Amino acid sequence: MFGRWDGLYLATCDVEIQEFGEAKGYPVIMTADTHTRALDRVAEAAGKCGVDLDDDDIVVCVQGDEPLLAEDVIEAVVRPLEDDPAIDGTMLAVPIIDEAIYRNPDMVKIVHDIKGDVLYTSRAPIPYAKTFSPEIGAKRVGGIFGFRWAFLKWFTETPESPLEITEACDSNRICDNGFRQRIAPVPFRPYFSVDSPEDVKVVEDALANDLLWGRY
């Protein structure tokens, strides 16, 4: 699917990351160091990337702490936007089958409606269940998001919202203002992000058995 993209860029405010990317030959866009949310950084970078974006064009944010991503999870985030013009934003939704992940505040959980539109995201274990099991259908945010350019511009021009600040979840800015993102669900797989120093060993162990990573 990557042949369809007009551009692929590394967005950062960190000089060390910039130098690493440029040494690898990646196109790097330097952004302000005042962003507290990844989506605000992506919106700035998209506006500076040199591509003449139409309002309906799709901008995808892949957060840098997601080393286990694969082409199919990016495709899952893009597909709803291509299939339904009424959808303005999507987020990767990964099933939770482990209670430790369900209760881990570093993992942002999703509550959504029957259609799959996000109602709320939280670092708390939601949906609440007295006894955890995979059957409660809990999902967590994978760090991949898709937006139509017009909606991403709206997002970054809108102030941080109360629930966004309280939960430290930027998607709550969307919910707080009466809009919705559609989840992009994927089947369960080992999928870990690096949210704390302790996560590095977990991710390294997972990468050792990851077929895609083994090709690099």
How do residues 136-175 score in pLDDT, each as one tens digit?
999 999 889 999 999 999 998 999 999 999 999 989 999 9
pLDDT digits (tens, 9 = 90+) for 46-63: 999 888 899 999 999 988
Q: What is the pLDDT of residue 216?
A: 62
Domain boundary assignment for the chain: 2-211
d(CA 50, CA 171): 26
Query: What's the first-to-final CA gap in the chain, in angstroms?
Result: 19
The mean pLDDT value for 69-95 works out to 91
Q: Rounded to two decimals, what is the model's pTM?
A: 0.86
pLDDT above 60 (res 71):
yes
pLDDT above 90 (res 115):
yes
Contact 9, 45 (CB under 8 A): yes
Q: What is the pLDDT of residue 96?
A: 96
Q: What is the pLDDT of residue 67?
A: 76
Contact 10, 61 (CB under 8 A): no
Confidence class for position 95, pLDDT limits 50, 70, 90:
very high
Q: Report how far apart, in Å, the C-alpha atoms of 12 and of each of 16, 31, 45, 110, 159 are.
A: 9, 6, 9, 27, 21
pLDDT digits (tens, 9 = 90+) for 103-113: 999 899 999 99
Pick the CATH number of 2-211 from 3.90.550.10, 2.10.10.90, 3.50.30.60, 3.10.20.30: 3.90.550.10
Contact 96, 135 (CB under 8 A): no
How many CB atoms neighbour CB 96 within 10 A? 23
